[in-house]
Chains A and B, each alone.
Chain A
């Protein structure tokens, strides 16, 4: 199944950026990439080959895609944007206090 393969590739790219990279902004990018992989997978999994679940006036459509995963994905996107903004704010403040955004060079965390 093709969407599973793409999900694994995207998710592992995000996981790689989160675990191995030491730049904190790259970590945030990795977190967002993992989120995007999950959203992609949910949407592609619920696709049964029907139409987008929006009625058109004067047109009877018999086969719709499931609207519930799409609504939940919208919720997830908004939450992801909020967490990313908050994380970037914390990184800005961290840069002001310690002068670096590399987590290996932060003092007191490497012992």
Chain B
């Protein structure tokens, strides 16, 4: 009986929130077009300011690079918390892995996955993509190692120490480029003017490609650490 009352009250809350949302959105005006100050400026002079063809990357790693630094700090905080909670020992706990056919097939596919991830990272200022997206693709390789070949293989090939070093190295690249901006251009994370080249080439757009590489390694290693910590504990009970 108590449960029934609870359920009915929850349904009332659901109906109320739906009604409130509906009322709110019926008052919502149509989109009025671009913001005159900010968005129009970025669209008009983003290419000249940063040299990056991809304006979203220009926003992320040039105009609002400080935000991206905070964002990668959030990933670092999540990784720290998860490792603190889950892993008391960093020894590998082996899982057997999948069948021979799956192992062979993914052995052929894995280099191409790595290539695609690196392509998405390094072409972040030219095509859709960037450090965060490519980093997630790189983390998929570690997940493939753990599931298909067993977590001991992942431990041997791509040990937690390597992952930690990659994550710290990515953060250091980001911070180092920020400090270089202070020294050379006078503001934290200012785009480095002397690195710019002809627009549309691979190494252009100042420090944006290098920040992309740093963020990519940081995100990839961070997600790999998260997955490794979780799968270690869940497999420990089976063996």
Cβ contacts under 8 Å, A66 to chain B: 34-35, 39
Shortest CB distance B75–A (Å): 6
The answer to whether residues A55 and B53 also contact, given A74-B132, A85-B78 and a CB cut-off of 8 A, is yes
Q: B25 touching A56 by the CB < 8 A rule? A: no
Q: A57 touching B78 by the CB < 8 A rule? A: no
Q: A67 touching B42 by the CB < 8 A rule? A: yes
Shortest CB distance A52–B (Å): 7
Q: Is A75 an interface residue when CB atoms closer than 8 A count as contact? A: yes
The answer to whether residues A82 and B14 also contact, given A54-B53, A92-B233 and a CB cut-off of 8 A, is no
Q: B128 touching A86 by the CB < 8 A rule? A: no
Q: B86 touching A92 by the CB < 8 A rule? A: yes
Flag A69-109 by CB within 8 Å of B: 1 or 0 each: 01100110111011101101110110010000000000000
**Complex formed: what's the CA distance from A8 to B31 in Å?**
18
Chain A's closest residue to B44 (CB) is A64
Cross-interface CB contact of A20 among B14, B42, B47, B127, cutoff 8 Å: B14
Cβ contacts under 8 Å, A52 to chain B: 128
Q: A86 touching B78 by the CB < 8 A rule? A: yes
* Range, interface on chain B: 35 or more
Chain A's closest residue to B17 (CB) is A15
Flag A7-41 by CB within 8 Å of B: 1 or 0 each: 11001100110011000000000000000000000
Cβ contacts under 8 Å, A78 to chain B: 71, 74-75, 132, 219
**Complex formed: what's the CA distance from A20 to B9 in Å?**
10
A residues contacting the other copy or chain, number (CB 8 A): 42
**Complex formed: what's the CA distance from A88 to B230 in Å?**
9
The answer to whether residues A89 and B200 also contact, given A11-B21, A70-B56, A78-B75 and a CB cut-off of 8 A, is no
Q: A93 touching B14 by the CB < 8 A rule? A: no
The answer to whether residues A19 and B13 also contact, given A8-B18, A8-B21, A90-B85 and a CB cut-off of 8 A, is yes
Give me 17 A-to-B residue pairs in the complex whose CB atoms sit less than 8 angstroms apart, sorted by A's number: A1-B28, A8-B25, A20-B10, A20-B11, A46-B31, A48-B33, A67-B39, A68-B35, A68-B38, A78-B71, A78-B74, A79-B74, A81-B223, A82-B78, A85-B78, A86-B82, A96-B233
Chain B residues with CB under 8 Å of chain A are 7, 10-11, 13-14, 17-18, 21-22, 25, 28, 30-31, 33-35, 38-39, 42-43, 46-47, 53-56, 58-60, 64, 67-68, 71, 74-75, 77-78, 81-82, 85-86, 127-128, 130, 132, 199-200, 219, 223, 226, 229-230, 233-234
Chain A residues with CB under 8 Å of chain B are 1, 4, 7-8, 11-12, 15-16, 19-20, 45-48, 52-57, 64, 66-68, 70-71, 74-75, 77-79, 81-83, 85-86, 88-90, 92-93, 96
Ranked nearest first, the 5 interchain pairs of A and B with the lowest CB-CB distance are A82-B78, A71-B59, A4-B25, A53-B55, A67-B55
